[in-house]
Structure 1
Amino acid sequence: MYIADSYLEELISEDVPSVDLTTHVLGIGGHHGCIEYFTRDAGVLCGTEEAERIYHMLGAERVEIQPSGTQLAPGDVFMRVWGRAEVLHMGWKCCLNIFEYYSALATKTRAMVDAVHAENPRCEVLTTRKRMSGTKPLDTKATLVGGSFPHRLGLSETVLVFAQHVAFYEGGIDALIADIPELKARCCEKKFFVEADASDAVRFVEAGVDGIQLDKVPADKLAQLVRTLKGINPQVTVIAAGGVNMENARAYAASGVDGIATTCLHFAKPLDMSARMVADA
């Protein structure tokens, strides 16, 4: 996955706007040593490749990492960096924040994906674009590392009609349904998806949409609706969305949907990770 140098440079400058004042005052910046990162929690590692790049930007002499996706046990060391003390201290917390936050997302995602695939191997976990501003590059990487797939990375990527679009469509939902063949022809290289509740989903599938996103339909009422929609068009893609979380994801997967779209994987309690430094003898 590509993450621009400019994004990583912004992370550095957030924590080091100019000088590491403590290291400068103590006069230790030129001393050499090593920093190693380790975890107190089990989890799925994420962000070491970006942390390695950050340390090289700062002037590290050597870096060793475990790759993102590594399953960590408590006590495992997953990154070591050698260089001047000023370099180690400038990268210390910037990289630790990446590890703690995004390894937590990868770990949570892996847990949901494993639960969903245990119930329905053909159901995919899809992460929405409702994430905190500024976190998109590493957030996307973390959820990919955990085994999910981006539902939408932005408005330019897919055609997905919401009720908020229908509110401006001349003639409303009835006109939209009548116009679906023409609208599909206008975006012939893209699939045409619509979000709908249970009452409108059948009409949209009968009209020929490529996919239907079912909004806030309870998991226990979804299986029959999925059978009905697939009976109309066996090739239609059915996505469950709205209120999907760690507790009910497996039940949604059991309904026979092709995917579940969730926002909950963008938020997780950070893993307990830390770093220790040792000066060269």
Structure 2
Amino acid sequence: MYISDGLIERIIREDVPCLDLSTALLDMGGYPGMISFHAREEAVVAGVEEVLHLFDKFSLRVVVSCRSGQAVAPEEVFLQAFGRAADLHAVWKVAANVLEHCSGIATRTRRLVRAAQRVNPRITVLTTRKLFPGTKEMAVRAVAAGGGWPHRLGLSETILIFKQHLCFLGGVEGLAGVLDAVRARACEKKIIVEVEDADEAARLCRAGVDGLQFDKVPARQLKDIVGDLRRIAPAVTLLAAGGIDQENVAEYAGTGVDALVTSWVYFGRPVDMGVRITGV
């Protein structure tokens, strides 16, 4: 996946706006040294490619590196590089923060995907765009490293119609009246509508929408709805969203939907990483 120079410059500038005052005052910046990273727990590592770009900016020589998406054991060194002490200290915290937070997302994603696919091997875990602004590039790559995919990257990408749209159109009936026109203007796109109950879902299926996203419908109830909708429109794409997490993912995976949409993977503790810097 593409990593922009702008992203790397921005995260460096946040931590080193001018200089590393401590290292400069100690007059130790030119000494050679080594930096290495390990997880203190089992984890799926992510953010590695971003950190390698960061290392390249400071001319560090990488001698050990894994790929994002690799599972690592506690104390296993997965990234190691040599360089000047000033450069090692400049990248230290930025690299640790990227690896810890991205690996947290990837680890939770992998956990969710495996739990869901034990129930339904064909189901997909999709992640929302409900993340902290400015972190999307790294978060999306971390999700992919864990085996998930983004639900939608932004408003320009997909047609997803909410009740906040329907209130301007006259509800479900109003939407049904403009579906053909919408489809003609964006013939290569699926039209997905978020719903909250079975009646709305059935009416929209009969109107010819391509997919439905169920928001916060209990799993037991959703399973019955999915069965009914498959009889009305066998090819309709069905998504479950709203509150899906590690505790209920297996139950939702058993409802018969095609994909699970979640924000849960973004919100949790980072992976506990250890960093060692030594002179050589």
Answer whether contact 1:120 1:254 (CA < 8 A) is retained. Answer: yes
1:16-165 alignment runs, 5 A limit: 16-165=16-165
Answer whether contact 1:161 1:195 (CA < 8 A) is retained. Answer: yes
Q: Which moved more, 1:254-263 or 1:57-66?
A: 57-66
In structure 1, the partner of 2:215 is 215
TM-score where L is the length of structure 2: 0.97
- Deviation per residue, 1:7-27 (Å, 9 max, x gap): 011001100001111111111
Matched residue SS, 2:274: strand
Answer whether contact 1:126 1:261 (CA < 8 A) is retained. Answer: yes
Matched residue SS, 1:49: helix
TM superposition shift of 1:70: 1.2
- Deviation per residue, 1:214-246 (Å, 9 max, x gap): 111100111110011111111100001111111
Answer whether contact 1:30 1:86 (CA < 8 A) is retained. Answer: yes
- Structure-2 separation of matches of 1:122 and 1:203: 27
Answer whether contact 2:46 2:145 (CA < 8 A) is retained. Answer: yes
Matched residue SS, 2:278: strand
Matched residue SS, 1:69: coil
Gaps in structure 2 of 5+ consecutive residues = none
- Deviation per residue, 1:133-192 (Å, 9 max, x gap): 0110110000010001110100000001100011112x3331212332332222111011
Answer whether contact 1:181 1:207 (CA < 8 A) is retained. Answer: no
Matched residue SS, 1:79: strand
Counterpart residue identity of residue 100, structure 1: E
In structure 1, the partner of 2:174 is 175
- Structure-2 separation of matches of 1:275 and 1:147: 26
Aligned residue pair count: 279
Answer whether contact 1:181 1:208 (CA < 8 A) is retained. Answer: no
In structure 2, the partner of 1:202 is 202
Answer whether contact 1:166 1:176 (CA < 8 A) is retained. Answer: yes
Answer whether contact 1:52 1:63 (CA < 8 A) is retained. Answer: no
Does residue 12 in structure 1 map to residue 12 in structure 2? yes
Does residue 184 in structure 1 map to residue 200 in structure 2? no
1:249-264 alignment runs, 5 A limit: 249-264=249-264
Gaps in structure 1 of 5+ consecutive residues = none
Matched residue SS, 2:35: strand
Identical-pair percentage: 44
TM superposition shift of 1:63: 4.6
Counterpart residue identity of residue 185, structure 1: A
